[in-house]
């Protein structure tokens, strides 16, 4: 094995060992829910209502093995098992918040697709809004300071041009070309604006 391959293998192995505790539930999946979240606070569901609520609550949980899919949408075996567990908990009368807290206790806060507004999560929710407001303030300040600088800067006429809309350079050759461009662009005869004295 080459040193480069050995280093890569060691890096991957270390990453897997460090990530393993994140993927393993803190409690066995079959632990008693009442010991984790207390007695059920809702009413036991059955039939079509149970199926609909199962989809809703499973849609709020992130599949631990999929990339960005909810438990309701994921085809993974783990997600199917979690969805069955959600259905079982709803049938026992546990409410939505108790079920989410139960899975959060086992998998960590990451399991919620929409983390609750507490602790560092405030930064996750408010960070983009604050960054957008700060960016808008910087843009407004920059535009205002440029406008102010432009207003304070004296207007310096270009060398060789006199005042008025029919300004022409002092150089006769250049003046001839400017008149030709004006004639073509504006339709002014001989490149002179209408009503000009010269």
Average pLDDT over residues 102-127: 76
Least-confidence region, from 16-30, 102-116, 168-182: 16-30
| Domain membership flag for residue 107 | yes
| Domain membership flag for residue 198 | yes
47-58 and 96-107 helices, crossing angle to 10°:
40
Number of H helices, E strands in the chain: 7, 0
Q: What is the CATH number of the domain that holds 47?
A: 1.10.8.640
Closest of 58, 62, 103, 102 to residue 83, by C-alpha: 58
Q: How far apart are CA 100 and CA 70, in angstroms?
A: 13
123-159 pLDDT per residue, tens: 666 788 888 999 999 999 999 988 888 777 776 655 5
Taking phi first (over 0 means left), then psi (-120 to 50 degrees means alpha), and beta for anything else, what does residue 92 get?
alpha
Question: Any idea what DSSP says for residue 157?
Answer: P
Please count the structural domains in the chain.
2
| Domain membership flag for residue 189 | yes
Judge if 175 and 104 occupy the same domain. no
Judge if 107 and 166 occupy the same domain. no
- Per the CB < 8 A criterion, the answer to whether 89 and 99 are in contact is yes
Q: How far apart are CA 87 and CA 58, in angstroms?
A: 9
Domain finish residue from 111, 139, 154: 111
Judge if 35 and 106 occupy the same domain. yes
Beta-carbon contacts of 152 under 8 Å, excluding residues fewer than 6 positions away, are: none
Residue 30 has pLDDT above 80, yes or no: no
Least-confidence region, from 83-87, 108-112, 160-164: 160-164
User: Where in the sequence is the domain holding 105, given as residue range(s)?
Assistant: 28-111
Sequence-ordered alpha helix ranges (H) in 108-120: none
Average pLDDT over residues 74-86: 91
Q: Is the pTM higher than 0.85? A: no
């Amino acid at each position: 094995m080459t040193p480069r391959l050995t280093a890569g293998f060691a890096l991957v192995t270390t990453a897997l060992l460090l990530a393993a505790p994140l993927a393993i539930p803190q409690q066995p999946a079959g632990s008693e829910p009442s010991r984790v979240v207390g007695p059920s606070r809702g009413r036991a569901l059955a039939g079509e209502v149970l199926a609909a609520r199962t989809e809703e609550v499973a849609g709020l949980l992130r599949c631990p093995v999929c990339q960005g899919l909810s438990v309701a949408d994921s085809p993974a075996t783990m997600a199917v098992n979690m969805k069955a567990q959600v259905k079982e908990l709803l049938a026992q009368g546990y409410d939505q918040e108790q079920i989410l807290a139960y899975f959060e206790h086992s998998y960590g806060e990451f399991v919620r697709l929409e983390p609750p507004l507490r602790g560092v999560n405030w930064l996750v929710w408010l960070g983009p809004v604050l960054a957008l407001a700060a960016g808008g303030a910087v843009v407004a300040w920059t535009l205002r300071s440029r406008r102010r600088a432009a207003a304070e800067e004296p207007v310096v006429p270009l060398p060789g041009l006199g005042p008025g809309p029919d300004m022409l350079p002092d150089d006769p050759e250049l003046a001839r070309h400017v008149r030709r461009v004006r004639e073509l662009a504006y339709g002014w005869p001989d490149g002179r604006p209408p009503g000009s004295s010269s």
